Structure 1
Amino acid sequence: MTRIHLPGIVAMAAIVVASNILVQFLFGNWLTWGAFTYPLAFLVTDLMNRLYGAQAARRVVAVGFAVGVVCSLIGTQIMGEFGPLVTLRIAIGSGLAFLTAQLVDIAVFNRLREGSWWRAPLASTLVGSSLDTAIFFTIAFSGALTFLEPTNDVSWAGEAVPLLGLGPVAPLWVSLAVADLMVKLSLAILALIPFRVILRRLRPNLA
């Protein structure tokens, strides 16, 4: 790890910490404020990948994962209205989703890095974001995985409701996941703007 990687490390750590805090605050019926900050982790990973290569990106992801683990450990010690702010299932889901999604993002980016400037960051973020949402919400809230933490009652997440309040009936956690994914996919497109601007400023030959 070198000094030139420090901005990426700091940015990733800040995003993880901010997202762990903001996830405690609701935004409407289906989202939390953390849904709007967490996707920026993919922007940081893709910038590090383009600027310094896959190995540097993996190191930044490792730092983000370590910070996330610390945040989860702290969250398990903070009691909310219904128990610890971070349960075992949420901790496992969050860590596994982050690590898997970010590493897949890096792999997809590398496959497409020689194409048009926008293809690699867009495709890798779309794939990574989809994996992240699917892994986290399934592990954290699916009734099929109650054996992971039998003492944690997530029956509320299995309540049958219209999808996003409008569609076919589905478990509540599915609506939460779909809303989360919609934000991630929208931000993946918008993130192309800062990706391009930052890249042109730091490495015009790569933009």
Structure 2
Amino acid sequence: MTTPPPRSYRYYDLIMAAFVCVLLCSNLIGAAKAATLTLPILGTVTFGADLMFFPLSYIFGDILTEVYGYGRDRRVVWAGFGALIFAAFMAYVVVHLPPAKNAFMDVYQTQIEGVFGNTWRIVAGSMIAFCVGSFANSFVLAKMKILTGGRYLWMRTIGSTIVGQFFDTALFFIIAFWGIWPQEQLIAVTITQYLFKTGWEALMTPITYRAVGFLKRVEGVDHFDRDTNFTPFSLKV
């Protein structure tokens, strides 16, 4: 008896590519900068500059798990993991290559070291926090989908984000910036990031609903992970 070929989907690969792009950009461009804004009622708030972009990866994770299932989201998580490893390797090579001897490169070398010299810690923190947080998010969402019979999507996306972002935010900032940023600033940024990321997810719920509804309709799939092996150490779908 021959095994049928795996089913292909129209938008799965595009969502994977977008997910990896958001992950790399938010962790390498925005994560190292602590920014401040003065907001009504809250006053001056300190936060990581990736705040407006990294939560998109969790929305993609919610969409992938809800539509295609935990197994396919797991493949996307590992794709992001591999991309972060390559980014760390490339950053290390670029920073440590001897610069050309001219006035411009004398200044530029110090700038590139300032931006990417801490990349190994940022990427280490990103990889560990991202894997733990993403798998926790996907696991909670998949289990809640079974428990609710596929109802209350808003409850599942927000509930899974509360769990996933807790692990992600705490682990990332401890690994990446402990001993680099002042402790008071580190704690303030970590708490702010967590609250804003979970709030951002809640605000994006209508868009998540529309994306999930569109994909379920055009892909003809609404996966329930009733017989799924939830080990993170697999690429099987």
Query: What TM-score, normalized by structure 1, do the two folds share?
Result: 0.78
Q: What is the Cα-based RMSD across aligned positions, in Å?
A: 2.3
Equivalent residue for 1:30? Answer: 46
> How far off its partner does 1:82 sit?
7.9
Task: Give 1:185's match in structure 2, choosing from 176, 194, 198.
Answer: 198
Distance 1:66 1:175, change over 3 A: same
Matching residue's letter, 1:201: F
Equivalent residue for 2:25? Answer: 18
Equivalent residue of 1:36, what SS? Answer: coil
- For residues 116 and 53 of structure 2, what CA distance do their matches in structure 1 show? 25
Distance 1:131 1:85, change over 3 A: same
Equivalenced residue count is: 182
Equivalent residue for 1:163? Answer: none
**Unaligned segments of structure 2, at least 5 residues:** 1-5, 37-44, 96-111, 223-237
Task: Give 1:137's match in structure 2, choosing from 151, 173, 188.
Answer: 173
> How far off its partner does 1:105 sit?
0.7
Show the 5 A alignment for 1:144-183: 154=180, 156-158=181-183, 171-183=184-196
Matching residue's letter, 1:89: R
Q: Deviations over 1:19-69 (max 9, x none)?
A: 122335553272233121111111111111111111011111111111122
Contact 1:75 1:85 in 2 (8 A): no
The reply on whether 1:80 has 2:113 as its aligned counterpart is yes
Larger radius of gyration: 2
Q: Deviations over 1:107-137 (max 9, x none)?
A: 1011101421212211111110111011111
Matching residue's letter, 1:124: S
The share of aligned pairs that are identical, in percent, is 21
**Unaligned segments of structure 1, at least 5 residues:** 144-153, 159-170
Matching residue's letter, 1:142: W
Equivalent residue for 2:125? Answer: 93
Distance 1:157 1:48, change over 3 A: same
Equivalent residue for 1:56? Answer: 72
Matching residue's letter, 2:209: R
Q: Of the two structures, which has the highest relative contact order with CA contacts closer than 8 Å and spacing of 6 or more?
A: 2
Equivalent residue for 2:156? Answer: 120
